[in-house]
Chains A and B, each alone.
Chain A
Amino acid sequence: MERRSHIYGVLAEFATPEELIHAVEKARADGYRRMDAYTPFPVEGLARAMGLKRNMVPFITLLGGLAGGLGGFGFQYWAAAISYPQNIGGRPLNSWPAFIPVTFELTVLGASLCAVFGMLALNRLPQPHHPVFNVSRFAHASSDRFYLCIEARDPKFHIAETARFLQGLHPHHVSEVTDD
């Protein structure tokens, strides 16, 4: 049992996205849940194969947009009509049409910032270290290789079983991922 704590998971390396998708489907069919796949570019169908659902990013973006827009107009109104009312060329204090452009810009700004930083936050990035980096071959994950990692946290995980299972998918290479 204590050996397990040092094991993060088992990593299988594939040459093509198709093999990876196949492997993922197999693994799920075999009952594995706690796993992750690593690809040098977004592979179509992989997310479906992994059974990933819709994510939170769009919702966060919506919130950011609303905050920017409402806040933007509200601030302009407050500044021009309440905090510092001035007779500007006989225009009404609340010259709302003139406030639209800034409102729009702030909407976009708020939404964009939330989209990006929301995405990074949900991805727990920046995260300088991760166990998979311990596998030297993993450098190819950013170039031309495709990886499937079945993690030790998976209840069905057993180092030997899982390794054998992965071997059965004819990967290029299978390696063990340790925590440190």
Chain B
Amino acid sequence: MSAGEPPINSSEIRRLTPVLGPGHTFGSVTDKISSIVLTRPTSVGWYVGFLITFSFTALLTIAMGWLFTKGVGIWGINIPVGWGFAIVNFVWWIGIGHAGTLISAILFLLNQKWRTSINRFAEAMTLFAVACAGIFPLIHTGRPWMSFYMFPYPSTMGIWPQFRSPLIWDVFAVSTYGTVSLIFWFVGLIPDLATLRDRALTKPKQIIYGMLALGWRGSVRHWHRYQSAYLLLAGLATPLVLSVHTVVSFDFAVAIVPGWHTTIFPPYFVAGAIYSGFAMVLSIAIPLRKAYGLEDFITMRHLDNMAKVMLATGLIVAYGYFFEFFMSIYSGNKFDLYLVEQRIHGPYSHFYYALILCNILTPQLLWFYKIRHNVLILFLMSLVINTGMWLERFVIVVISLTRDFTPSAWGRYQPTFWDWATFTGTIGFFVMLLFLFVRVLPAISIAEMRELVAETAEAD
């Protein structure tokens, strides 16, 4: 029972903060949601936002053009810090990409009804985040045009990739994750596409949505197989989503670099991923419900639940930080000890303190009912936590490399303009995709909302 919360029983909470606003029928949810795509005129705000994010996307393309012209030397990386922003951003984006599938899959299996109104755009967010993440492994190599060497194709030389390398595991994990997220998302979309097909007012829309809907007509037999397929996908996506960040953490855990070589990484990377993922869902959901008046569908109960998930995962992450320290000290390994010391006193210590502030101290506010129900604070907090998670990756990737085994080779790292351009560029790209998404596809699963209507009807 959270502090500061009025003493009332849980059923009452559910009544006070339902997952669906009162008085909705099958028709009304359909109208409300599909109208955003079909009838509602495009607002000025949308155009402004789109243009801004589009210009950042342009910056990204410029940065990549320059990169391909000159080489990765335009970044701040060096010896010993061979990995810089590119990998930090990759891990960060992949982490964000976890919430969507997690919400769709795990909460689905746990039969959490409140997931319904957020899973659609959470999945979209996942796809876009994975797209942003996918950019980095490709462009961060010295010879990006040779990146296909990492895929197992029958080359004339009879050479195959080196499957002991975590980077190869990454290739498979990320591409699998991307594919499964995509089909999962699309399968969920099929009934809604049918809805749009049937309600579209213009011929082109009818044709496009019609083709995408694959001729879905809601036959009970179809629904029968559809449901088992969806259930299976959820069942498969759950271990997958956990495996992806585990594999990403292997990039570090398998290496021998002090500060990387840690068995705690897989769980605490996954927790961190969910943490940042939910933060990102919040930072999208809150403006979205405001802009399109979806307060009835994305209710305070959703925000409250997500806040609680963030609090929980945040505590797991804190535990991870603590145990990193504890194990270094407990093991007495001089390299780890030195690294711990470096994080506290070294040249990058301020990053570490900022990280603790963002990721461990700030979320403690979520213990309070009032905070969890203050939309603005939640929104700001979600941004803070995303920053914190980025800092965590920076601390792990960069600081560990600056102080490894051979003191004579110790160095430091400073990002260049092009590092920042690429990073902010992907953020712009990400948001731009979201803008497009809300314009052309239903941001909330209509079909599942209808189920919800049916159930709430039964409940009453």
Check B160 for interface membership: any CB of A closer than 8 A.
yes
Residues 323-357 (chain B) with a chain A CB within 8 angstroms: none
Most buried by B among A75, A141, A143: A143
Q: Which residue of A38, A75, A88, A126 contacts B220 across the interface (Cβ within 8 Å)?
A: A38
Give chain A residues whose Cβ lies under 8 Å from the Cβ of B214: 120, 125-127
Residues 53-93 (chain A) with a chain B CB within 8 angstroms: 55-58, 61, 65, 75-76, 79-80, 83-84, 86, 88-89, 91
Check A154 for interface membership: any CB of B closer than 8 A.
no
A17 to B458, CA, bound (A): 12
- Asked if B152 and A79 make an inter-chain contact with CB atoms under 8 angstroms apart, the answer reads yes
- Asked if B233 and A115 make an inter-chain contact with CB atoms under 8 angstroms apart, the answer reads yes
The size of the chain A interface, using a CB distance under 8 A, is: 64
- Asked if B447 and A126 make an inter-chain contact with CB atoms under 8 angstroms apart, the answer reads no
- Asked if A39 and B194 make an inter-chain contact with CB atoms under 8 angstroms apart, the answer reads no
- Closest A-chain residue to B445, C-beta based? A41
- Asked if B239 and A76 make an inter-chain contact with CB atoms under 8 angstroms apart, the answer reads no
Stretch at the interface among A2-10, A42-50, A156-164, A167-175: A42-50
- Asked if B152 and A101 make an inter-chain contact with CB atoms under 8 angstroms apart, the answer reads no
A79 to B163, CA, bound (A): 9
A120 to B228, CA, bound (A): 12
Check A99 for interface membership: any CB of B closer than 8 A.
yes
A37 to B44, CA, bound (A): 43
Q: Which residue of B173, B217, B225 contacts A119 across the interface (Cβ within 8 Å)?
A: B225
Question: By DSSP majority rule, is chain B's interface helix, strand, loop, or mixed?
Answer: helix
Interface flags, A102-133, vs B, CB<8A=1, else 0:
10111011011101101110110111111011
- Asked if A98 and B228 make an inter-chain contact with CB atoms under 8 angstroms apart, the answer reads no
Give chain B residues whose Cβ lies under 8 Å from the Cβ of A76: 163
Check B407 for interface membership: any CB of A closer than 8 A.
no
Q: Which residue of A36, A40, A125 contacts B215 across the interface (Cβ within 8 Å)?
A: A125
- Asked if B454 and A17 make an inter-chain contact with CB atoms under 8 angstroms apart, the answer reads yes
Check A1 for interface membership: any CB of B closer than 8 A.
no
Check B62 for interface membership: any CB of A closer than 8 A.
no
Nearest Cβ on chain B to A65's Cβ, whole angstroms:
8
A104-B243, A119-B225 as given contacts; A128 in contact with B210, CB under 8 Å: yes
- Asked if B176 and A39 make an inter-chain contact with CB atoms under 8 angstroms apart, the answer reads no
A60 to B277, CA, bound (A): 32
Give chain A residues whose Cβ lies under 8 Å from the Cβ of B197: 142
Nearest Cβ on chain A to B457's Cβ, whole angstroms:
9
Check B15 for interface membership: any CB of A closer than 8 A.
no
Most buried by B among A50, A105, A129: A105
Check A52 for interface membership: any CB of B closer than 8 A.
yes
